[in-house]
Amino acid sequence: MPEDKSIQELGLDEYKFGFHDPEDYFFRTPRKGIDPEIVAMISRHKNEPEWMLEYRLKALQSFLDRPTPQWGGDLSDLDFDEIYYYIRPMENQGRSWDDVPDDIKNTFEKLGIPQAERESLAGVGAQYDSEVVYHSLKEEWNNAGVVFMDMDSGLREHEDLVREYFGTIIPADDNKFSALNSAVWSGGSFVYVPPGVHIDIPLQAYFRINAENMGQFERTLIIADEGSYVHYIEGCTAPTYTTNSLHSAVVELIAKPNARIRYSTIQNWSHNTYNLVTKRAVAEENATVEWVDGNLGSKLTMKYPAVYLTGEGARGEILSVAYAGDGQHQDAGGKVVHAAPNTSSLITSKSISRGTGRSTYRGLLKVHEGAVGSKSRVECDALLLDENARTDTYPYIEIEEKKVNTEHEATVSKVGEDQLFYLMSRGLSEEAAMAMVVNGFIEPIAKELPLEYAIELNRLIQLEMEGSVG
Amino acid sequence: MLKVDNLHVEIEGGEILKGLGLEVGKGEIHAIMGPNGSGKSTLSNVLMGHPRYDVTDGTIEFMGEDVMELEADERARLGMFLAFQYPSEVPGVSVANFLRTAVNSVRENELSVMEMYRLIQEKMKIMQMDPKFAERYLNEGFSGGEKKRNEILQMLMLEPKLAIMDETDSGLDIDALQVVSKGVNELRGPEFSAVIITHYQRILRYIEPDHVHVMLDGRIVTSGGKDLALDLEDKGYDWVRQEFGSAAQS
């Protein structure tokens, strides 16, 4: 490690998506900070039904009442009064990229979104600060009755469905950050897949923070009706600022009987972003929910995607990969609750820590009484790239039923001098040797991703590691 | 090709090599024999540039260039190769992926996907390896014999100018030993030199050395032709200790 550079300089210099556009918004809350007036202003600005305003205000109360959690990462530098809670970049959402202002369009071009849309996606949503600026769904899926729109449009156009499910998987007062999101949410995706419809290529949402001191609070609800299938992918980046940004999303998934939802995330926020996200799914009878969760960016991430197995034969899988470079803390993991017989789950977590980076696995496996015949396996592996890097494991297990089969395995390994010497003796530079060990380590997860995302994951890790050795 | 002079090497404060000298000409095969603890593995690691060892005195030149300050990857790119006694496991990285990366690291021009595929197939055939082997993760769960074959496969792929073989014969049955030897003989020619480091003379029946050196207590105490290896087989290392032990101590 080069000792003569500051941690921040090292960490931030490596981030390749840290550019920003000029702040040219259509509407922004008149001040930083959060209070009932700001919340009401957001709701009025969106022309929401009265019940949503009430929901928001109640959530605000619970946000204000709850203390900042102390059990996870260090949140002492996060100042809720120094954040803008709503910025609307443009007046109306684009139906084609030509409707999107050049600055914003160019940003998404640089991130490769329109190209991915043409080549390999069923639909795309692109959120810029607080609002979704572009949304599309290929006609084929539209005709099949698939709904894929931003959450605000979902509330307008499918109010009954939203009212029935919104906040039922993650109640507003579940935790401080779900409460915050419930108070000021904006954007995100609303997805409904009709019974029996298999969307064979992914839907993708891309989240971009542009403004400084911005808080982004997207809200996503995905309902996969009986026997349907959907793969939803989200990506995220932000500019590098010296002040903090906050990203606090709430994602609720409902897999009806025999449905399957796969939700993949490649989170690559800039290193000044707090990423505090609540994600939870319910899997009904014989349904499957899979979270594939890649955390590469951010200053601190606290995120533990959960699956509640409420129907007999339901299955939950969580694959988590985290990379904590200098100054980063990835506090990630997963939660599975077995609440019905013959349910099964698999949690696989792979973390990599380098420099002063810290990765934490925090997981909960709970089996309720009566969930007979349930099976679960938890495997968490940590890789340390140098002496200062740190990893911790907090695997909570609560089993109330005797007739179950659970396994837990945890390993910590270090990239050894002998391993590097071996690879270098074949002509690989130290950096290439390190990258090879890391890519090998995450291979079990990368192979679960569609090829282009696996390549992207490897590429991002390589970018993060550039200049990290020497 | 390789010129080592007065090499002194320490690890954790203890001196292992105590003024070792060795000269290997172009196209020559040298065998270095010695009992356990004589410093053979230290020598092979130091020649390749392992960072754990402190070279306190002496020089290593390869093709007229001082390589003492070069990292292992730079030495590899000059044409040096070490066949490891205990190669490391790299989970998740397939043999094929590793070979591609390694070959393209030492070459000036990258091979096309098709050229690379053919090259791997061809060399694996020489080593009598199942094509499925290329998809296995590097050294993970390999038997001792598979590891050694894999080392020689890498050598055939990289086509070094100088190969150092650190006890490649140890733990091999006679069939594996023949395959490994075949791999080395494959490269034998006016442009290829090798240093075969071994405890036993068995491998030298299959790879005939031009020169044999005997190593004891961090030094080469005697050198000769291939007959020296046979003498050693007859008389054993105790003979070497009696004959040269006092010289090594002095």
Q: What would the DSSP string read from start to end of A43-103?
A: HHHTT--HHHHHHHHHHHHHHHHSPPP-SSS--TT--GGG-B--EE-SSS-BSSGGGS-HH
CB contact under 8 A, A443 and B98: no
What domain range includes position B227? 2-249
Query: Closest Cα of chain B to A340: distance in Å?
Result: 35
Interatomic CA distance for residues B218 and B11, integer angstroms: 13
More confidently predicted of A453 and A175: A175
Q: Are strands B54-62 and B2-11 parallel, antiparallel or unpaired?
A: antiparallel
Q: Which of A421, A443, A448 to mutate to test the interface with B (most CBs of B within 10 A)?
A: A421
pLDDT recorded at residue A188:
96
Residue A14 lies in a domain: yes
For chain A, say whether B6 makes contact (Cβ under 8 Å): no
Average pLDDT, chain A: 91
Nearest to A426 among B71, B91, B105 (CB): B105
Around Cβ A185, how many Cβ atoms within 10 Å?
A: 30
pLDDT higher than threshold 60 for residue A123: yes
What domain range includes position A384? 7-465
CB contact under 8 A, B52 and A432: no
pLDDT recorded at residue A14:
62
Residue A100, SS3 per DSSP: coil
Residue carrying the six token digits 């270095």: B32
User: Which residues of chain B fall below pLDDT 70?
Assistant: 246-250
pLDDT recorded at residue A467:
52
For chain A, say whether B111 makes contact (Cβ under 8 Å): no
CB contact under 8 A, A424 and B84: no
Q: Which of A383, A236, A233 is nearest to A321 (CA)?
A: A383
Sign of CA dihedral A67, A69, A71, A74: negative
More confidently predicted of A110 and A336: A336
Residue A51, SS3 per DSSP: helix
CB contact under 8 A, A421 and B77: no
> pLDDT digits over A343-373, tens only?
999 999 999 999 999 999 999 999 999 999 9
Chain B: residue whose CA lies nearest to A443: B92
Residue A1 lies in a domain: no
Percent of chain A with pLDDT over 70: 96
pLDDT higher than threshold 70 for residue A4: no
Residue B70, φ and ψ in degrees, nearest 5: -85, 145
Q: Kindly report the pTM of this predicted structure.
A: 0.82
pLDDT recorded at residue A3:
38
Total number of domains in chain A: 1
Residue A470 lies in a domain: no
CB contact under 8 A, B91 and A417: no
pLDDT higher than threshold 60 for residue A43: yes
The mean pLDDT value for A61-86 works out to 95
The mean pLDDT value for A418-447 works out to 91
Question: Is the CB of residue A259 less than 8 Å from the CB of residue A289?
Answer: no
Query: Closest Cα of chain B to A443: distance in Å?
Result: 5
Interatomic CA distance for residues B241 and B236, integer angstroms: 9
What CATH number does the domain containing B115 carry? 3.40.50.300
Residue A393: pLDDT band by 50, 70, 90 thresholds? very high
Task: Output the CA torsion B61→B66→B70→B74 (10° steps).
Answer: -70
For chain B, say whether A7 makes contact (Cβ under 8 Å): no
Amino acid found at B165: M
Interatomic CA distance for residues B249 and B43, integer angstroms: 19
Q: Which of B41, B90, B95, B97 to mutate to test the interface with A (most CBs of A within 10 A)?
A: B90
CB contact under 8 A, A425 and B106: no
CB contact under 8 A, A440 and B52: no
Around Cβ A91, how many Cβ atoms within 10 Å?
A: 8
Q: Which of A371, A353, A370 is nearest to A313 (CA)?
A: A371
Q: Which of A411, A418, A426, A436 to mutate to test the interface with B (most CBs of B within 10 A)?
A: A426
Interatomic CA distance for residues A31 and A47, integer angstroms: 20
Total number of domains in chain B: 1
pLDDT recorded at residue A450:
72
Amino acid found at B36: N
Nearest to A424 among B71, B87, B98 (CB): B71
pLDDT recorded at residue B247:
52
Nearest to A428 among B73, B81, B84 (CB): B73
> pLDDT digits over A342-351, tens only?
999 999 999 9
Q: What is the ipTM of this complex?
A: 0.96
For chain A, say whether B154 makes contact (Cβ under 8 Å): yes
> pLDDT digits over A137-192, tens only?
999 999 999 999 999 999 999 999 999 999 999 999 999 999 999 999 999 999 99
For chain B, say whether A423 makes contact (Cβ under 8 Å): yes
Residue A2 lies in a domain: no
